[in-house]
Structure 1
Amino acid sequence: MASLASLSRKDLLAKVHQFVPPMLDTFHKGQLGRIAVIGGSEDYTGAPYFSAMASAKLGADMSHVICEPGASAVIKTYSPNLMVHPYMRQTKHLNSTDTKDSVASNVTAMLPRVHVLVIGPGLGRDEAMQDTCTAVLKAAREKGLPVVLDADGLLLAQNRPELVTGWREVVLTPNVVEFGRLCKAKGVTVEGGEEGVRARVEELARAYGGVTIIAKGSKDYVSNGDLTLISDGEGGRKRSGGQGDTLTGTIGTLLGWRKAYLDKLWEHDGTLSAEDLLALCAFGGSAITRECSRLAFEQKGRSLQAGDLTEHVHQAFLNVVGEPSSKL
Structure 2
Amino acid sequence: MTSAKIALYQTPQIRSCEKMAIDDLGLPEDELMKRAGSSAFSTLTMLHPDVRTIAVFCGSGNNAGDGYVLARLAQEKGYSVVINQYKSVENLPPAARHAASQAVAAGVLCQCLDDPIDSDAELIVDALLGIGLKGEVHGPIATAINQMNDSKLPILAIDTPSGLDADTGQVMGVCVRATATVTFIGYKLGLMTLDGPDHCGQIICHNLQLDKCLAAVQPVAFLLDGQLRQQLLPPRLKNSHKGKFGHVLVIGGNYGMPGAVYMATNAALRVGAGLVTVATRPEHARQVLPLLPEAMLHGVDEIADLLPLIAKATVCILGPGLGEDEWAKALFTAALASQLPMIIDASALRLLAQNPQHDDNWILTPHPGEAANLLDDTTAEIQKDRYQAVIRLQDQYGGNVVLKGAGSLVATDESEVYLCNAGNPGMASAGMGDALSGIIAGLAAQGLLLSEAAKLGVWLHATAGDAAAAKKGERGLLASDLMPQLHRLVNWVNE
TM-score of the superposition, structure 1-length normalised? 0.77
- CA shift, 1:104, in A, is 1.1
Tell me which residue corresponds to 1:135. Answer: 334
Point out which structure has higher relative CO (alpha carbons under 8 A, 6+ apart).
1
Tell me which residue corresponds to 1:283. Answer: 455
- CA shift, 1:237, in A, is 3.0
2:347 counterpart letter in structure 1:
D
Match for residue 403 of structure 2 among 215, 238, 249: 215
Tell me which residue corresponds to 1:244. Answer: 433
In the alignment, the residues of structure 1 paired with residue 464 and residue 372 of structure 2 have an alpha-carbon distance, to the nearest angstrom, of: 26
In the alignment, the residues of structure 1 paired with residue 368 and residue 379 of structure 2 have an alpha-carbon distance, to the nearest angstrom, of: 14
Q: What do residues 244-273 of structure 1 show as CA deviations (whole Å, max 9, x unaligned)?
A: 1111111001111225xxxxxxxxxxxxxx
In the alignment, the residues of structure 1 paired with residue 423 and residue 319 of structure 2 have an alpha-carbon distance, to the nearest angstrom, of: 26
Matching of residue 304 in structure 1 with residue 477 in structure 2: yes
**Equivalent residues in 2 for 1:231-270, closer than 5 Å:** 231-258=420-447
**Equivalent residues in 2 for 1:169-248, closer than 5 Å:** 169-184=361-376, 193=384, 196-208=385-397, 210-224=398-412, 226-248=415-437
Does the 8 Å CA contact 1:236/1:296 hold for their aligned counterparts?
A: no
Matching of residue 109 in structure 1 with residue 308 in structure 2: yes
In the alignment, the residues of structure 2 paired with residue 253 and residue 200 of structure 1 have an alpha-carbon distance, to the nearest angstrom, of: 26
* CA gap 1:42/1:255 in 2 versus in 1, 3 angstroms: same
Structure number, greater radius of gyration: 2
Q: Which has the higher helix share?
A: 1
Matching of residue 73 in structure 1 with residue 276 in structure 2: no
Report the 3-state secondary structure (helix = DSSP H, G, I; strand = E; otherwise coil) of the residue aligned with 2:373: helix
In the alignment, the residues of structure 2 paired with residue 130 and residue 192 of structure 1 have an alpha-carbon distance, to the nearest angstrom, of: 29
1:172 counterpart letter in structure 2:
L
Report the 3-state secondary structure (helix = DSSP H, G, I; strand = E; otherwise coil) of the residue aligned with 2:238: coil
**Equivalent residues in 2 for 1:12-27, closer than 5 Å:** 13-27=226-240
Tell me which residue corresponds to 1:119. Answer: 318
Q: What do residues 33-61 of structure 1 show as CA deviations (whole Å, max 9, x unaligned)?
A: 21111101221011101111111011111
Tell me which residue corresponds to 2:355. Answer: 160
Q: Which sections of structure 1, spanning at least 5 residues, go unmatched?
A: 90-102, 260-276, 324-328
RMSD across aligned C-alpha pairs, in angstroms? Answer: 2.7
- CA shift, 1:108, in A, is 1.8
Report the 3-state secondary structure (helix = DSSP H, G, I; strand = E; otherwise coil) of the residue aligned with 1:312: helix
2:368 counterpart letter in structure 1:
V
Q: What do residues 157-179 of structure 1 show as CA deviations (whole Å, max 9, x unaligned)?
A: 211113xx1x1111010112111
- CA shift, 1:238, in A, is 4.6
Does the 8 Å CA contact 2:222/2:417 hold for their aligned counterparts?
A: no
Match for residue 294 of structure 1 among 440, 443, 466: 466
Does the 8 Å CA contact 2:5/2:223 hold for their aligned counterparts?
A: no
In the alignment, the residues of structure 2 paired with residue 192 and residue 132 of structure 1 have an alpha-carbon distance, to the nearest angstrom, of: 31
Percent sequence identity over matched residues? 28
Does the 8 Å CA contact 1:202/1:224 hold for their aligned counterparts?
A: no
Does the 8 Å CA contact 1:59/1:253 hold for their aligned counterparts?
A: yes
In the alignment, the residues of structure 2 paired with residue 278 and residue 238 of structure 1 have an alpha-carbon distance, to the nearest angstrom, of: 24
In the alignment, the residues of structure 2 paired with residue 237 and residue 135 of structure 1 have an alpha-carbon distance, to the nearest angstrom, of: 36
* CA gap 1:228/1:238 in 2 versus in 1, 3 angstroms: closer
Does the 8 Å CA contact 1:175/1:217 hold for their aligned counterparts?
A: yes
In the alignment, the residues of structure 1 paired with residue 380 and residue 477 of structure 2 have an alpha-carbon distance, to the nearest angstrom, of: 35
Q: Which sections of structure 2, spanning at least 5 residues, go unmatched?
A: 8-218
In the alignment, the residues of structure 1 paired with residue 341 and residue 481 of structure 2 have an alpha-carbon distance, to the nearest angstrom, of: 28
Tell me which residue corresponds to 1:274. Answer: none
Does the 8 Å CA contact 1:171/1:213 hold for their aligned counterparts?
A: yes
Tell me which residue corresponds to 1:271. Answer: none
Report the 3-state secondary structure (helix = DSSP H, G, I; strand = E; otherwise coil) of the residue aligned with 1:31: helix
Does the 8 Å CA contact 1:289/1:316 hold for their aligned counterparts?
A: no
In the alignment, the residues of structure 2 paired with residue 240 and residue 299 of structure 1 have an alpha-carbon distance, to the nearest angstrom, of: 17
- CA shift, 1:29, in A, is 2.4
Tell me which residue corresponds to 1:99. Answer: none
Does the 8 Å CA contact 2:464/2:485 hold for their aligned counterparts?
A: yes
- CA shift, 1:286, in A, is 0.6
TM-score of the superposition, structure 2-length normalised? 0.52
* CA gap 1:21/1:108 in 2 versus in 1, 3 angstroms: farther
- CA shift, 1:307, in A, is 2.0
Q: What do residues 194-221 of structure 1 show as CA deviations (whole Å, max 9, x unaligned)?
A: xx2101110121012x221100010111
* CA gap 1:238/1:55 in 2 versus in 1, 3 angstroms: closer
Tell me which residue corresponds to 2:151. Answer: none
Does the 8 Å CA contact 2:315/2:341 hold for their aligned counterparts?
A: yes
**Equivalent residues in 2 for 1:58-69, closer than 5 Å:** 58-69=271-282
Does the 8 Å CA contact 1:149/1:172 hold for their aligned counterparts?
A: yes
2:246 counterpart letter in structure 1:
G
* CA gap 1:46/1:188 in 2 versus in 1, 3 angstroms: closer
In the alignment, the residues of structure 2 paired with residue 298 and residue 137 of structure 1 have an alpha-carbon distance, to the nearest angstrom, of: 39
